Amino acid sequence: MRVLCSWCYNTIESSELNDDQEVMCPDCKKWHQGATEDCIKEFLENLPIPVVSIAADNTIITTNSKASEIFRLEPEKNFEKKAGELFDCKNSRSAGGCGKTVNCMKCTIRNLVLTTYLDGTPREKVSVPVETNENKKASLTVSAVRVKGNVWLRFDEWMIPE
């Protein structure tokens, strides 16, 4: 059986798969479990898909250039930004800001980050509906894994209004 790693897209032998929810090759698994901050940036950069590392309070820690491209980010200005600002969530500019409004309690991304951070169980391909500041709909399919003290969000699919 031929399976592709959901992170690096390399082929995985079926014998290397275990019962985890996620499909991850042994190389990526090693990174996810033991990488140091320095190497994490390089590892993320080499992945063929957009990945954003986020702290439990929704602050963006780092992004790879694929993610910067689809979310139109300037990498050096990402810090201090919150997850909702990636896709201009309409709550991210409200009083209190991203993660602090009443609506944020039911935000799929916020809860995905929080639950993955708390229980360490990877989540695969969660569908995330978002409404932007201009009342446009964005839709994302996101996977999450806890790496050290942060959560990596992998964007498997994205539809972001112009």
Buried-exposed string 22-60: b where 16+ CB fall within 10 A, e elsewhere: bbbbeebbebbeebeeeebeebbeebebbbbbbeeebbb
Q: How many CA atoms lie within 13 A of 50 on its CB side?
A: 17
Closest to Zn ion by CB, 32 vs 82, is: 32
Q: 1, 2, 4, 7: which one contacts Zn ion (CB under 5 A)?
A: 7
- In 3D, which of 122, 116, 113, 151 has the Cα closest to residue 24? 122
Size of the site for Zn ion (CB under 5 A): 5
Helix (H), strand (E) at residue 26: helix 26-34
Rounded Cα gap, residues 135 and 130, in angstroms: 9
Amino acid at 126: V
Q: 1, 3, 4, 5: which one contacts Zn ion (CB under 5 A)?
A: 5
Q: For tokens 């993320």, what's the residue?
A: 44
Q: How far is the CB of 147 from Zn ion (least distance, A)?
A: 13
Binding marks (x or -) toward Zn ion, 83..122, rule CB under 5 A? ----------------------------------------
Q: 1, 15, 18, 25: which one contacts Zn ion (CB under 5 A)?
A: 25
Q: Which stretch binds Zn ion (CB under 5 A): 25-33, 41-49, 79-87, 123-131?
A: 25-33
Q: 1, 2, 8, 84: which one contacts Zn ion (CB under 5 A)?
A: 8
Q: How far is the CB of 12 from Zn ion (least distance, A)?
A: 7
Rounded Cα gap, residues 84 and 92, in angstroms: 6
Binding marks (x or -) toward Zn ion, 28..47, rule CB under 5 A? x-------------------
Interface residue list for Zn ion (CB under 5 A): 5, 7-8, 25, 28
